[in-house]
Homo-oligomer: A and B are copies of this chain.
Amino acid sequence: MTALAAIRDAPGLDAYLEELEERLERAVASHRGVVAEIAAEALSAGGKRLRPLLVYLASPTGPPPVEAGVAVELVHMATLTHDDVIDSARVRRGRASAWTKYGPEAAKSAGDYLFACAFNELASTGDAHAVSILADATLCLARGEALQRVQRHDPDTTVEAYLERCGLKTGKLFEAACRLGGGSAAFGLALGIAFQITDDILDCSGVTIETGKIAGTDLREGTPTLPLLLAARRDDDVRAALAGGPVLEGVLLRIASTGAIEESREVAHAYARNARACLNGELHHEELASLTHAIVEREK
């Protein structure tokens, strides 16, 4: 996400992100034990810190409380840790995931710990309304995860149902980040959906398409994403694979050849445009607009 580099020039952002890292570390190290260790490792693996960035940029009057950024990032880390357990993902950001090293039960507990740390951090500001915003996003995350399981191996999932899932799984936490910063909820929701669609596109295009050999994780797991759903309408082998059948060699090239990826990209761009339309002379208007471009144009 090269466009992010420009956004990071926003005045005061460096200091904010520096404090954020320090506070993230402190938040999970507050208690000893194996869950705190796993949590610390998950944090040290890094990440784009996109949600805290959003908290910062959405703030209409100046730097928001760093606790809000810490809390949304901790919730995000919690879901990554839980996803690793569920998806049995063995590598996350180039490292062995918590799941592999400590076993699924420890990783599950570490995820719960990260959730609790997030609420602890936010409650420390004394702002119960902020806690409500985060709790609402968190319960939507759980609903989104469950919806994903319901939709699994169903090539007849409607685009509408897919978009609902994107909203719950990703959009609501982006929305919460914006609201916690004091910004537009609708901007965050639309941006989050654009982000998720782009994520799903990258899973079945990107470098793997060069070889055409390695099918994307989503197809292998039967997760009906937008590009897969659109391709399944036009290619019976994709449809069968999505429904749980064999994933044939070269299937990613065939997905691309259906035009499903381009079409999905258009939908992502439409959500990015919707997000921009919510902006209205914010303090960081320009950076927020750049972010909508960076998110749908990223290549990893």
Contacts and interface: CB of A to CB of B under 8 A. Distances in A.
Interface of A: 31, 33-36, 82, 85-86, 103, 105-106, 108-110, 112-113, 115-117, 119-120, 122-129, 131-132, 134-136, 138-143, 145-147, 149-150
B135 A123 contact: yes
Given A119-B119, A119-B131, A120-B136, A112 B35 contact: no
B86 A149 contact: no
B142 A109 contact: yes
Closest 8 CB pairs of A and B: A116-B139, A120-B135, A123-B131, A113-B142, A116-B138, A112-B142, A119-B135, A109-B146
Given A31-B143, A112-B142, A116-B138, 17 more contacts: A31-B139, A35-B143, A86-B108, A106-B149, A110-B146, A113-B139, A113-B142, A115-B115, A116-B141, A117-B135, A119-B131, A119-B138, A120-B135, A120-B139, A126-B128, A126-B129, A131-B131
A interface majority secondary structure: helix
Contacts of A120: 132, 135-136, 139
Contacts of A112: 82, 115, 138-139, 141-142, 145
Contact of A34 (B122, B127, B128, B147): B147
A138 B123 contact: no
Contacts of A131: 119, 122-123, 128, 131
A128 B85 CA distance: 31
A86 B150 CA distance: 21
Q: For the complex formed by this chain, how many copies does it contain in all? A: 2
A278 B45 CA distance: 45
Contacts of A106: 146, 149
Contacts of A105: 86, 145-146, 149
A241 to B, nearest CB: 21
Contacts of A145: 105, 108-109, 112
Contact of A108 (B82, B126, B139): B82
Contacts of A135: 116-117, 119-120, 123
A41 B113 CA distance: 25
A37 to B, nearest CB: 9
A116 B139 CA distance: 5
A147 B147 CA distance: 31
A110 B142 contact: yes
Nearest to A141: B112
Contacts of A115: 112, 115-116, 138
A82 B35 CA distance: 16
14 contacts: A34-B150, A82-B108, A86-B108, A105-B149, A110-B142, A112-B139, A116-B139, A119-B131, A119-B134, A119-B135, A123-B131, A123-B132, A123-B135, A124-B128
Contacts of A108: 82, 85-86, 108, 145
